[in-house]
Structure 1
Amino acid sequence: MPRKSINKGKPRKQLPGKKSLSKKKSVSSASSSYRKKLKNLSEVEQRLNLALEVAQIGTWEWNIRTNDVTWSAGVHKLFGLSKEAFDGTFETYLNLIHPNDRKAVTERINYALSNNTTCSVIHRLVWLNGEVRWLECIGKTVLGRNKKPLKMTGTIQDITTRKNIEQEREDWKTRHELVAKSAGLVIYDYDISSGNIVWSGNSDFVLGYRSEELGNIQRWIKLIHADDREQALLELKTAQGALTPYDVNYRFRKKNGDYCYMHDRGFFVADQNGDPTRMLGMMMDVSKARQTEETLKENYRFRESIERTMPGILYVHDLSSRQTIYINKVEAPLSFTNGKDLYTDEDLNKLKGEIRSKIIHPDDIKKLYHWTKEVAGTVRESEYRVLMKDNQYRWFHSRDTPFRWDEQGNVTQIIGISQDITAQKEASEKLRNSERSYRELFDSVGEGICIQREDGLIIDVNRGASVLYGYNKEELIGRTPGFLSAEKKNDFDFIRHKLKEAARGEIQRFEFWGKKKNEEVFLVEVQLTKGTYFGEEIIIATHWDITERRKTEEALRESEQRFRALHAASFGGIGLHDHGVIIDCNQGLCNLTGFTYDELIGKNGIELIAPEWRDFVINNIKTSFEGAYDVEGIKKDGTRYILEVHGKNIPYEGKNIRVTEFRDVTERKRAQEQIIEQNTKLIAVAEDLKRKNDQLEEFTQIVSHNLRSPVGNIVTLLSFFENTTSEAERKEYLNLLKESSAMTLYMLNDLNEVLKVKQNKNIEKQELRFEAVLQQVFKMLNAKISNTGAQINFDFNNGPTLIYPNIYLESILLNLLDNALKYRHPERPPYIEFKTYKDRSDNTVLVVRDNGLGINLQRYGHQVFKLRKTFHKHPESRGVGLFMIKNQIETMGGEITIESKEGEGSTFLINFSKHQSDATQ
Structure 2
Amino acid sequence: LRDIANLARDADGNPLYWHGTLIDITEQKNLQQNIRQSEDRFRKAFQASPIAICITTFNEGFFLDVNDAYLRLSGFAREQVIGRPASEMGFFDKKTRAQWIKKFLAVGQSLQNQNSTFITASGMTLDTIAFYETIEVGGQKAILSMFYDITHQIRAEEALRQSEARHRALVEHIPAIVYMDSADKGQETLYISPQVETALGYTPAEWIADPRIWENSIHPEDRERVLKKDILTEETGEPFSEEYRLIARDGRAVWFQEEASLIRDEAGNPLYWQGFLLNITGKKEAQETMREIANAYRGLFDSITDAIYIQDRFGRFLDVNLGAVKMYGHPHKFFIGKTPEIISAPGKNDMEAVIKAVERAFEGIPQQFEFWGIRKNGEIFPKDVRLYKGTYFGQEVVFAIARDITSARKARDAQERQLKELSVLHALTVEGTRAANEDELIERATEIIGYTLYPDILGFLMLTEDKKCFYPHSSYRGITDPGQIRKYQIGEGVTGQVAATGKSMNIPDVRKVKKYIQIDPKSLSELCVPMTIGERVIGVINAESSKLGFFTAEDERLLVTIAGQLATAIERLRKERAEREQRILAEALRDIASALNSTLDFNTVLDRILENIGRVVPSKSANIMLLENNVLRIIR
TM tier relative to shorter chain: 0.3 to 0.5
The answer to which structure, 1 or 2, has the higher relative contact order (CA under 8 A, 6+ apart) is 1
Q: TM-score, normalised by structure 2?
A: 0.33
Q: TM-score, normalised by structure 1?
A: 0.24
Larger-gyration structure (1/2): 2
